[in-house]
Amino acid sequence: MELKLNSIYRHYKGNLYQTLLICNNADDPSSPLVVYQALYEDDNFGNQAIWARKLSEFLELYDGVNPRFEFVHVLPYEILSLNF
């Protein structure tokens, strides 16, 4: 599976996320990180929290069968925005 940036993915628990970029992992340079943003508000983490996860984990099958994140669609670049 290949990661698509500036795209919407659905987590296996149902929430939607936007992939933003891939960055280097200071703790493990051989394991890049995906930076992605929640498209919802969370009581613990606020509105549209930013997350980072190992690329291999983002693309893995969480139960050996189903993807942890399922590709939904690519966004046009005009609407790409980071909300902090």
pLDDT tens digits for range 3-14: 999 999 999 999
pLDDT at position 83 is: 54
CA–CA dist 34, 60 (Å, integer)? 13
Its domain, for residue 72, covers 7-38+47-76
pLDDT block averages, 10 residues each, the chain of length 84 = 93 97 95 97 92 97 96 78 52
Nearest CA to 23 out of 46, 52, 44 is that of 52
In a domain, 57, yes or no: yes
In a domain, 25, yes or no: yes
pLDDT at position 9 is: 98
CATH at residue 24: 2.30.30.320
Nearest CA to 42 out of 16, 70, 73 is that of 16
pLDDT in tens, 39-51: 999 999 999 999 9
pLDDT at position 50 is: 96
CA–CA dist 14, 67 (Å, integer)? 12
54 burial class (0-12, 13-18, 19+ CB within 10 angstroms)?
Answer: middle
Structural domain total, the chain:
1
